[in-house]
Amino acid sequence: MKIAFACDPLDGFKIYKDTTYAMMSEAARRGHAIHVFQHKDMAFEAGKVIANVARVTLTGDDKDWYRMEAPVAQELTAFDAILERTDPPFNMEYIYATYLLELAEKQGARIFNKPEAIRSFNEKLAIAQFPQYIAPTLVTSDAARIRAFHQVHGDIILKPLDGMGGAGIFRVMNDALNLGSIIETLTENGRQTIMVQRYIPEITQGDKRILLIGGEVVPYCLARIPQGTEIRGNLAVGGVGVAREISARDREIAVALGPILLKRGLLLVGLDAIGDYMTELNVTSPTCFQEIRQQTGFDVAAMFVDALEKHAETWN
């Protein structure tokens, strides 16, 4: 197969933990040809979606790990699979990229995850489609509604809908200390919609990343455990990742959602859970492949490339 990765610049990869690198390495090991491009390399020209795409060879050297050929303008339909692996933020440029990818898809390109599905599944708000699996949740820009929610639940989490890496997350306990200021800041005085959830005390045991690949559940999750006085388990803010077998409740949620999400065009999903509740559905560039493999021996990248090979010919 000719596989093209829409990803961030390779010189910024930390290959000891990067999931996109793990995908590339496994695909290359099987003899697939690896290519890369960035969102900014795409264009709609003469009725076709094209991109300046570069062939990449992996060297096996941990430091000098790739060789890249000169980019060549190619139609995206020239590839057997295109993997969208660009990290958030999911801003307007990212959305424009999904529009171009969707046009390419209509011309015959096979894109994982599907561009329309990436747009439709806001990584915070998508959980509202499955209310039976989530903690009490409010989505609003209305300060009065947020205050009323706090009155009912006492201990709450407030967060922006477009955040990443734990940015902008606040906890307000029963004393309501700084609630007004936090509401004003996050909602921009009522102009920005946010999410509010009842605090889940099991966060001390980890914010669990559960992976769904081709509708199937990876048997291990990565529990990202907050450190010190921090309430966030995100690895980006110092959380420690501990791989463990998924719980019966986590499996119940994942097994129920896996086929639904695959049918909607999501080959790879990072389902986040705290305690018995789902908290996010990550669809842009889910991670944690390498941490799980390093700690358990389970080869997540192999499972992913298996699924890619299985679905590539029939994806559209």
Active site annotation includes 113: no
293 is catalytic: no
Name the catalytic one among 209, 234, 250, 291: 209
Under DSSP, the state recorded for 204 is G
Q: Which residue has the tokens 């800041």?
A: 185
Query: Cα–Cα distance between 99 and 87 in angstroms, integer?
Result: 17
DSSP state of 87: P
Please answer whether residues 207 and 279 qualify as being in contact, where contact means their C-beta atoms are separated by less than 8 angstroms.
Answer: yes
Residue 282 annotated to the active site = yes
CA gap 155, 198 in Å, rounded: 6
Q: At what angle do helices 300-311 and 289-296 cross, to 10 degrees?
A: 130
For the chain, how many residues are written? 316
First CA to last CA across the chain, in angstroms?
16
In the chain, where do the E strands start and end? 2-7, 33-37, 42-45, 48-58, 66-68, 72-75, 81-85, 111-112, 137-140, 156-160, 170-172, 194-198, 207-213, 216-217, 220-225, 240-245, 268-274, 277-282
Q: Which of the residues 84, 162, 250, 280 is marked catalytic?
A: 280
Q: How far is residue 291 from each of residues 167, 183, 240, measured CA to CA in Å?
A: 22, 36, 11
Catalytic residue among 224, 234, 250, 291: 224
Active site residue 189: no
Is 159 annotated as catalytic?
yes
Cβ(134)–Cβ(205) under 8 Å? no
Judge if the upstream peptide bond of residue 88 is cis by omega within 30 degrees of 0: no
Residue 308: closest CA among 18, 28, 11, 104: 28
272 is catalytic: yes
User: Which residue of the set 85, 159, 198, 208 is catalytic?
Assistant: 159
From the list 113, 232, 250, 291, the catalytic residue is 232
Catalytic-role residue among 85, 110, 114, 124? 124
Residues 6+ apart with CB under 8 A from 46: none
Q: Known catalytic residue: 119?
A: no
Residues acting as catalytic residues: 124, 159, 209, 224, 232, 272, 280, 282
